[in-house]
Amino acid sequence: MYSAAENAAAAAAAAERTAFRGAEKRYKLYKTLPHRPKSRKRTTTGTKPTDLSDVVDFKAVLDGFAGGRDLPPGILRFDCDGFDRPVFCIEDRPGFFFIPSALTIEEQCYWIRESLATFPQPPNRANLTAIYGPIYGLFNAAQNQKVLIETEDTDTLVDHELNGSKSSPHSQKFLFAETSDVHRVETCKSIAALALLKKLRWSTLGLQFDWSKRNYDVSLPHNKIPDALCTLARKMAVPALPFGEDFHPEAAIVNYFGPSDMLGGHLDDMELDWTRPIVSISLGCKAIFLLGGKTREDVPIAMFLRSGDIVLMAGEARECFHGVPRIFTDDDHAEISAILSQFSAEDDRCYADYIRNSRININIRQVN
């Protein structure tokens, strides 16, 4: 008889041998060992080359379709009355829909701004909330090179003079301060706002998701999803809905990916009605998306996700394991030059610096 620890170890070892895990290892970012050239003092690192020949490229599919070429085997064009964008699906993954270049560059920049400046704002919760409590004005603080400090006295100087926000509750333990003013407050902990922004990994809109219990906690304070995001999600959800039925956005999870981040294979299975799609919006650097089957043993299909692409997953596709093993931040593969040109103004420098090596994914859901 095996102990619980031994059973867990055996299960973990088995998971490492699945087809899905094999695909994750194939496409993830591997850095080469540091190399110190004889002629220079600086240590250099690189990345191991990855074979991308089997990755489905829906941009190429769209361009080929527009040019009158046949679609690749297993890829189908989905005709949807009244929908004004090309939609593709995969023959053996019913309920999965891919809408390439669904958003204009201007729309992408708008949602990047919202994802960084607005969506992490309380009462929306983020991965940082458990550590620092509600954080107000994170992106603005990063733009202005402020520092988050821990202070024992939040009723006076910090709350009014340094944080500059009368709406911030006096019970806040962590507040932003000017770098030059940090010495004025007895502080236990401090971290630059810009460094904190780079640690942002998720935020939740609408009904708040409790990651520890893996369910939606209706008792947590929350605001409704912004009207503009609801409108966009309803419009884009149409191909995945039965004719005449509506999509009612109630929650969204915003994921933030840094250069080496990945999202392991998982199911989005906490919503009650799986006939309603998840509307997934990609922003920023290009990524690889893996769409598996109903078990981890099913060989996943790899595809590129570019900024402005939208994916819908409904019905049987909701039962498919999926994940993101890789984002591309190098100039040859990131494909964000058009976005960076829109963020060329001095006021947009912080957006440009962030998105040039990051990816944002907004997943909108109907919970009930």
Binding-site residue ranges: 266, 268, 322
3-state secondary structure the chain: CCCHHHHHHHHHHHHHCCHHHHHHHHHCCCECCCECCCCCCCCECCECCCCCCCCECHHHHHHHHHCCCCCCCCEEECCCCCCCCCCEEECCCCCEEEECCCCCHHHHHHHHHHHHHHCCCCCCCECCHHHHCCCCCHHHHHHCCCEEEEECCCCCHHHHHHCCCCCCCCCCCEEEECHHHHHHCCEEEEEEHHHHHHCCCEEEEECCEECCCCEECCCCCCCCCCHHHHHHHHHHHHHHCCCCCCCCCCEEEEEEECCCCCEEEECCCCCCCCCCCEEEEEEECCEEEEECCCCCCCCCEEEEECCCCEEEECHHHHHCCEEEEEECCCCCCCCCHHHHHHCCCHHHHHHHHHHCCCEEEEEEECCC
Binding-site residue positions for Fe cation: 266, 268, 322
